[in-house]
Amino acid sequence: MVDEARAAGTLGGKHLVLGVTGSIAAYKAVGVLRALREQGATVSVLMTRGATKFITPLTFEVLSGHRVVTDLFESPETMPHLTMAEGADAVLVAPATAHFLAKAALGLADDVLSTMLLNVRCPVIVAPAMDGEMWTHPTVTQHVDALRARGVVVLDPEVGPLASGRIAQGRFPAEGTILDAVHAALLPQRDWRGQRVLVSAGPTQEPLDPVRFLSNRSSGKMGYAIAEAVCARGGDVVLVTGPSALTPPSGVTTVHVNTASEMADALSRHFSSCTVLIMAAAVADFRPRVPASGKLKKQGKVAIEFALEATPDILAMLSARRTSQVVVGFAAETEQLLSHAKDKLRAKGLDLIVANDVTHAGGGFGSDDNAATILSATGEQRAFGLMPKRRLADEILNAVRDLCLVVPRGQSLVE
């Protein structure tokens, strides 16, 4: 099926920027460029100075049909680091040297490729090639981890004979592997087809009286992003949402609730027919034991006391009731992120927990971005730096798919 997806025209309408850096594997980028063109993509090529030592810009110019840029300062009018970034659906850096990985990880911008990278927000795929000792050097590992945590797809180089004559991991990835990564980034993935996913989102509001309530700062953005991502990847979604200003994604069955108790009822109704529960809601932990039936009047009072009681722990309750469902929770923490998240994972009997530090600058409640660490009951851990919630939603789905769902043999991840 992936071969079918590689058929001519599949990448029609897509525009890629191909960055070529100074590795002996630079000549192999020619094959990648031809394959992308055969599949209908338009491709603009940027080369570093090192790359031009191995292969001439003219080769890429002829095969791409576009001018190749090698110099950030070629002319004051063109500003290639901006113009090349415009309209890019994806950036592919192939081959990528250890030097390039270091610059990209640190955000250095001293040539046209590294500077252009700071101007794009589209998917970035990197295909490293270098000697084995370099690939396994702790500094390179650190840079690769930093890029992956930022959502960059860094492919693993292959094991085999290298230019040095050694046999080790460092060979430029196979053309098919690179094309699969481009497809996964650019074509709709349908890997959640057949899954019925129950997603909770937003805060709950616990009435103090008919006009006032206890609540929290949750906007619902993370849960709505997850619902949208599941839909985009072919799954069915029931979204149970507390009060939120957001419009539910189209194609999603939405149930609106206000209180923790209404949320518990709605989720309970749909739980038995779902295959995965993702509990992104920020459920209020406490509610007034007896809300006032009429509006509370000031009447000269200077203080007022309310007796609060705990709301039901919906996630723990549903997890205890599960038959074959995969159950995913969130941990909103302000300190000791990982140890508190691990405690919740165990205590609530979850398959996965998404731990996020709600005090993180630029992330957390209300923000469009989030940073998180995903922990599994089987001990795996994936950390993600600050990224748009919609991208993090895809990473959460990837983790659930890889660690908890069994994908039937032969099922394609790409349609």
Backbone angles phi, psi at 388, to 5 degrees: -55, 145
Closest separation between CB of residue 220 and ligand CTP, Å?
Answer: 12
Query: Which position among 216, 258, 356, 370 bears the catalytic label?
Result: 216
Dump strand ranges (E) for 134-186: 153-154, 158-161, 167-171
Closest separation between CB of residue 267 and ligand CTP, Å?
Answer: 8
Question: Residue 262 interacts with ligand CTP (CB under 6 A)?
Answer: no
Question: Residue 18 interacts with ligand CTP (CB under 6 A)?
Answer: no
Stretch that binds ligand CTP, among 20-28, 168-176, 275-283, 400-408 (CB under 6 A): 275-283
Stretch that binds ligand CTP, among 99-107, 246-254, 306-314, 397-405 (CB under 6 A): 306-314
Closest separation between CB of residue 197 and ligand CTP, Å?
Answer: 15
Residues whose CB falls within 8 Å of the CB of residue 7, separated by 6 or more in sequence, listed in order:
39
Stretch that binds ligand CTP, among 46-54, 112-120, 328-336, 389-397 (CB under 6 A): 328-336
Question: Residue 311 interacts with ligand CTP (CB under 6 A)?
Answer: yes
Tell me the sheet residues that pair with 206: 214
Output the CA–CA distances (angstroms, integers) from residue 77 to 71, 73, 81, 82, in the order listed. 13, 10, 11, 11
Closest separation between CB of residue 260 and ligand CTP, Å?
Answer: 6
If the CB atoms of residues 133 and 343 are measured against ligand CTP, the closer one turns out to be 343
Question: Residue 281 interacts with ligand CTP (CB under 6 A)?
Answer: yes
Residue 287 to residue 261: CA distance in whole angstroms: 10
If the CB atoms of residues 173 and 242 are measured against ligand CTP, the closer one turns out to be 242
Residue 197 to residue 303: CA distance in whole angstroms: 45
Question: Residue 329 interacts with ligand CTP (CB under 6 A)?
Answer: yes
Question: Residue 112 interacts with ligand CTP (CB under 6 A)?
Answer: no
Convert residues 210-249 into a mask of x (bound to ligand CTP by CB under 6 A) and - (unbound).
----------------------------------------
Stretch that binds ligand CTP, among 86-94, 102-110, 140-148, 312-320 (CB under 6 A): 312-320
Q: At what angle do helices 175-186 and 28-38 cross, to 10 degrees?
A: 40
Residue 380 to residue 358: CA distance in whole angstroms: 22
Cα-to-chain-centroid distance, residue 133: 30
Closest C-alpha to 405, from 331, 346, 325, 343: 325
Closest C-alpha to 98, from 39, 48, 40, 149: 48
Question: Residue 279 interacts with ligand CTP (CB under 6 A)?
Answer: yes
Stretch that binds ligand CTP, among 92-100, 170-178, 276-284, 381-389 (CB under 6 A): 276-284
Neighbours of 162 (CB within 10 A): 24
Query: Can you tell me which of 45, 146, 240, 260 binds ligand CTP, judged by CB under 6 A?
Result: 260
Residues whose CB falls within 8 Å of the CB of residue 78, separated by 6 or more in sequence, listed in order:
none
Closest separation between CB of residue 395 and ligand CTP, Å?
Answer: 17
Query: Can you tell me which of 285, 405, 413, 415 binds ligand CTP, judged by CB under 6 A?
Result: 285
Closest separation between CB of residue 333 and ligand CTP, Å?
Answer: 7
Instruction: Assess whether 258 carries a catalytic annotation.
Output: no
Burial letters 325-343, b for 16+ CB under 10 A, else e: bbbbbbbbbeeebbebbbe
Stretch that binds ligand CTP, among 48-56, 59-67, 235-243, 325-333 (CB under 6 A): 325-333
Question: Residue 48 interacts with ligand CTP (CB under 6 A)?
Answer: no
Query: Can you tell me which of 91, 186, 238, 283 binds ligand CTP, judged by CB under 6 A?
Result: 283
Instruction: Sheet with 369-376: list strands edge to edge.
Output: 253-256, 236-241, 196-201, 276-279, 326-333, 352-357, 369-376, 381-388
Instruction: For CA atoms 95, 97, 100, 101, give the dihedral sign.
Output: positive
Question: Residue 331 interacts with ligand CTP (CB under 6 A)?
Answer: yes
Ramachandran class of 373: left when φ > 0, alpha when ψ lies in -120 to 50, beta otherwise: beta
Question: Residue 384 interacts with ligand CTP (CB under 6 A)?
Answer: no
Can you list the alpha helix ranges (DSSP code H) found in 280-336?
Answer: 314-320
Cis peptide preceding 95, ω within 30 of 0: yes
- Known catalytic residues are 216
Contacting positions for ligand CTP (CB under 6 A): 260, 279, 281, 283, 285, 311, 313-315, 329-332, 344
